[in-house]
């Protein structure tokens, strides 16, 4: 009887331990699933870009931004009373932050407006288009900037640029190329749209 009682106690303990381990495994699996779901949400948020696409053709090379970091990218308008000299500017940053397109729009008398359209020339205004990838920097120096749409309400931007640019690597100007033909097409919808009332 003593042996039977001991055996019963041992079996009961074994069943209890097994049940506990099963519950632990269940919790662990559930935690992993929750973590994976959260990770998917995070990845989705990172992948949700500004629906941007940049294509820049320079010196036989096509530079592209098609995966955009929405948090780092922005579209900036300026109020009518702002001391800033130009109409608007924007930055479109790639998802892994290795490429950046910066645009300054000037010459449209667009301060305080809700949308911008028109054409300006780089050599006649302070307008700027600059592309960076690592140590590479490309700057338009002359030509036409065509603003098809820049909307504060929708965040939509459509613009094209054609003309000549400089191409430089690193901080040295020694091997910089000048007067290189360049073509830019950009379409994006920015989630991060700001209005600045900057005063000097």
In a structure prediction context, what are the per-residue pLDDT tens digits for the chain, which is 200 residues long?
A: 444 444 444 444 444 444 444 444 444 444 434 433 333 333 323 333 446 789 999 999 999 998 899 999 999 999 998 988 899 999 999 998 999 999 999 999 999 999 999 999 999 999 999 999 999 999 999 999 999 999 999 999 999 999 999 999 998 888 899 999 999 999 999 999 999 988 87
Q: Are strands 193-196 and 74-78 parallel, antiparallel or unpaired?
A: parallel
Q: Are residues 102 and 64 in the same domain?
A: yes
Q: Are residues 40 and 55 in the same domain?
A: no
Q: What angle do CA 100, 106, 108 make, to 5 degrees?
A: 130
Q: Are residues 102 and 22 in the same domain?
A: no
| Whole-number Å distance between alpha carbons of 93 and 5 | 73
Residue spans of alpha helices (H) in the chain:
2-47
Q: Are residues 70 and 135 in the same domain?
A: yes
3-class secondary structure, 6? helix
Q: Are residues 110 and 94 in the same domain?
A: yes
Q: Are residues 16 and 98 in the same domain?
A: no
Q: Are residues 108 and 40 in the same domain?
A: no
Q: Are residues 14 and 110 in the same domain?
A: no
Beta partners for residue 162, in sequence order = 144, 183
DSSP label of 135: T
Q: Are residues 90 and 141 in the same domain?
A: yes
Q: Which pLDDT score is estimated for 51?
A: 61
* 168-192 burial: b if 16+ Cβ within 10 Å, else e: beeeeeeeeeeebebebebbbbbee
Q: Are residues 65 and 150 in the same domain?
A: yes
The number of domains in the chain is 2
Q: Which pLDDT score is estimated for 53?
A: 86
Site of tokens 């940049």: 54
Domain that residue 183 falls in = 49-196
pTM of the model: 0.73
Q: Which pLDDT score is estimated for 199?
A: 81
65 burial via Cβ count (<10 Å: 0-12, 13-18, 19+): buried
């Amino acid at each position: 009887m003593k042996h039977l009682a001991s055996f019963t106690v041992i079996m009961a303990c074994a069943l209890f331990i097994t049940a506990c381990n099963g519950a632990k495994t269940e919790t662990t699996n559930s935690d992993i699933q929750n973590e994976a779901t959260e990770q998917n949400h995070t990845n989705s948020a990172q992948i949700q870009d500004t629906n941007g696409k940049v294509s820049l053709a320079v010196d036989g090379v096509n530079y592209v931004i098609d995966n955009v970091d929405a948090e780092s990218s922005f579209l900036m308008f300026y109020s009518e009373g702002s001391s800033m000299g130009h109409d608007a500017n924007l930055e479109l940053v790639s998802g892994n932050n290795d490429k950046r397109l910066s645009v300054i729009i000037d010459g449209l008398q667009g301060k305080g407006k809700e949308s911008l359209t028109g054409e300006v020339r780089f050599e006649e205004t302070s307008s700027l288009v600059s592309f960076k990838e690592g140590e590479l920097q490309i700057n338009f120096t002359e030509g036409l900037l065509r603003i098809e749409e820049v909307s504060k309400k929708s965040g939509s931007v459509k613009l094209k640029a054609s003309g000549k640019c400089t191409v430089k690597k690193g901080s040295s100007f020694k091997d910089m190329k000048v007067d290189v033909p360049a073509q830019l097409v950009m379409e994006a919808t920015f989630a991060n749209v700001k209005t600045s009332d900057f005063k000097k």
